[in-house]
Amino acid sequence: MIDFELTSNDKKLLDAVRTEALVARQYARHYDEHEHEFPPDELPEAKDFPNVWSLFAGRTADDTSMGVISLLMTMGQTWGDYSVRMRRGKGGLGNAALRAAGTPEQQAKWNDLTLAMAITEPGCGSDSAGVQCTAVLDGDEWVVNGEKIFVTTGCRADGVVVWATIDKSAGRAGIKSFLIEKGTPGFVVAHKEKKLGIRADDTAAYVFQNCRIPRGNLLGLDESIPRQGSGGFRGVMKTFNMTRPGVAAIGLGMAEAALDFTREQLEKAGARIEYGPGIHGQSAAAQKFLRLEGQFEAAKLTTLHAAWLGDNRQPNNDEASICKAKAGAAVREITQGCIELLGPLGISREHLLEKWFRDVRITDIYEGTGQIQRLILARSLLGYTSKELK
């Protein structure tokens, strides 16, 4: 039976996350306005706080609430500010790919590094099968050439998992992932991206020019090109089943912050929000607010459900896409609705609501847009292949 009841230890852990998140919130505006500055690993006001992720690290892999709790922790962090997510933590999206598709030797060698993941190119995003970056085997080395854009953690990462084709004529089946360390000749961080939101996140563009890497840096070491299906491509795509609920949780934390701020301001202005009698008969503002809260609860439940399935070793491919599609749309509607409810307060830079409105937008873009999640679901539910339903 699905059960999201928290133990008293979990509650303490989540309280500790929120206490630290509130400290980070004091810095939110600064890192929004100073886009390419990195938040420090330690904020002075939080230096004596326990590291919440180390409190969490005591849990074992057979703990059947680990995924759910880690999503609630993510929500608690971004409820404070998105930038807090970058602090005190190693690892990036490339580490999730390494766990999903790397050999045990590759995992042992690379997992202590922070790895970004570079798929998107100037001419290829949603249709990741259109990757133009190439990797050509030359003796015992791969020679990588191409450009990648919008790489999260692009500057801070120690290395990257890069998607490149070893045979363009093979389409999706020719795409493989390669591990490339920073400092490898021919690998250049070309520039930092400038963005509407999540401006504290470090996002970069890469260029690979005759970048030579050992043959053993092919993730999973499978050099074959299957005639049917998508082979190794499918292995790294598994990464996203693991990480999409986390993206939903990032957006939900900020949407919850927006709801809390809006409730507080409405109450200050004398608008009563009542939970007992239902929405009819309440003020228009209260009705709208309660509908937004309903969106939040629905999106949160789909997200926790996806994590719960993963925790209990059940397939969650569809649920990972459902929660990301649902949360991506809900957090936009919620933050925009909060701005509508508060008017000038909503767009004033004296408060963070306008920032949350900008920051949540990413939830529906990276790791597959909302449209792409719906496409994945349609294929799965109706039994179409990616060639049949594009």
Active site residues: 367
195: contact with ligand FAD by CB under 6 A: yes
240: contact with ligand FAD by CB under 6 A: no
DSSP secondary structure letter of residue 197: S
CA distances to 99, 191, 262 from 96, in Å: 5, 24, 36
207: contact with ligand FAD by CB under 6 A: no
84: contact with ligand FAD by CB under 6 A: no
Residue 375 sits at the vertex; the CA angle it makes with 372 and 381, to the nearest 5 degrees, is 145
* Cα 96 to Cα 161: distance, rounded to the nearest angstrom: 10
126: contact with ligand FAD by CB under 6 A: yes
Contact between 150 and 195 (Cβ < 8 Å): no
Q: Residue 105 contacts by C-beta under 8 Å, 6 or more apart in sequence? A: none
b/e sequence 137-173, b meaning 16+ C-beta within 10 Å: eeeebbbbbbbbbbbbbbebbbbbbbbbbbeeeebbb
Stretch that binds ligand FAD, among 35-43, 55-63, 150-158, 234-242 (CB under 6 A): 150-158
Shortest distance (Å) from residue 360 CB to ligand FAD: 12
The tokens 């919130």 sit on which residue? 25
In this complex, which beta carbon is closest to ligand FAD, that of residue 151 or of residue 341?
A: 151
Residue list 333-362, contact with ligand FAD (CB under 6 A)? 362
Closest CA to 248 of 152, 157, 365: 365
120: contact with ligand FAD by CB under 6 A: yes
**Residue with the CB atom nearest ligand FAD in the bound state:** 125
**Bridge-based pairing state of the strands 175-181 and 187-192:** unpaired
Of the candidate residues 136, 221, 271, 365, the single one contacting ligand FAD (CB under 6 A): 365
Q: Number of residues interacting with ligand FAD: please give it, by CB under 6 A.
A: 22
Stretch that binds ligand FAD, among 116-124, 235-243, 258-266, 319-327 (CB under 6 A): 116-124
Of the candidate residues 119, 161, 236, 360, the single one contacting ligand FAD (CB under 6 A): 119
Measure CA 2 to chain center.
Answer: 24
In this complex, which beta carbon is closest to ligand FAD, that of residue 133 or of residue 218?
A: 133
Residue list 89-108, contact with ligand FAD (CB under 6 A)? 93
Interface residues toward ligand FAD, by CB under 6 A: 93, 116-120, 125-126, 150-152, 195, 198, 203, 362, 365-366, 369, 371-372, 375, 390
